[in-house]
Amino acid sequence: MKKILVIAALAGAAALPGPALPAAFDFNGSFAQDNDVVRFDFNLGLPGAVTLFTSSWLGGGFDPILTLWDGGGNQILEQDDGSLGGALVSNGVSYNYGEFDSYINLNLAAGNYIATLTQYDNFSVSTLLADGFLRDTDPVFTAAFACSNGRFCEGSLFDSNNNPVEPNRTAAWDVHILNVDSASVNSVPEPPTWMLLSLSGLFLLGGHCSRAGTAKPVSAELSV
């Protein structure tokens, strides 16, 4: 269930409405399968520096990938491991992020944008969102990374300091989008139909195939 908190302030009855002030949006949830994809839509009324980052790795969550797209689904940037870690404040809360979290900071023009969250190594197939992701047909692809849980496994055994990494991760994710006018969790993008047909060997004429094994986040919270 998504909780939405909106706080509005009126400067005065005679004042003309001005542009919305940039805000921060915090979302969290859990994947059901390794190859789940969560989509976020956000908007900028004016050009500005926008930050997107995850903060779930340090709490045991899976290795995330954030991909940024323009409003037409053309890829701007795909980001796996963002930095060596740090902390950022969003809505008055300081969130720590680790080296396996994703981190994007870009100057963007005014307009509509899309961000997608996937698990490593479920990268986009191409620079078009409509083409889907590498693991669209494999809901337990991280089992190949050989952790005892059989899913949500980490492929890297050591961090940058040569310390061992716990291979069994959880399904949890946390995503933060800073300095935008609006943001929301929306429908999960579907993979190209031909990928599903090649997996099943079934050819459907005039029908519509939806993605098997994809779940919307169990929970998502938004605050402004």
State the Cα–Cα distance between residues 97 and 138, nearest whole angstrom. 28
Q: What is the pLDDT of residues 166-208, one digit of tens each?
A: 999 999 999 999 999 999 998 554 544 334 433 434 333 333 3
Q: By the 8 A CB rule, do 26 and 173 touch?
A: no
For the chain, first and last CA: distance in Å?
Answer: 17
Q: By the 8 A CB rule, do 5 and 30 touch?
A: no
Q: Where are the domains of the chain?
A: 37-189
Residue 6 above 80 pLDDT?
no
Instruction: Dihedral sign for Cα 47, 186, 140, 137, please.
Output: negative
**pLDDT more than 70, % of the chain:** 74
Among 20-24, 186-190, 208-212, the range scoring the smallest mean pLDDT is 208-212
pTM value is 0.77
Q: Tell me the DSSP string of 114-181.
A: EEEEEETT--BSSSBGGG-BTTTT-TTGGGGG--TTSSSB-S-SB-TTS-B--SB-BSEEEEEEEEES
State the Cα–Cα distance between residues 217 and 118, nearest whole angstrom. 12
Q: What is the pLDDT of residues 29-82, one digit of tens each?
A: 999 999 999 999 999 999 999 999 999 999 999 999 999 999 999 999 999 987
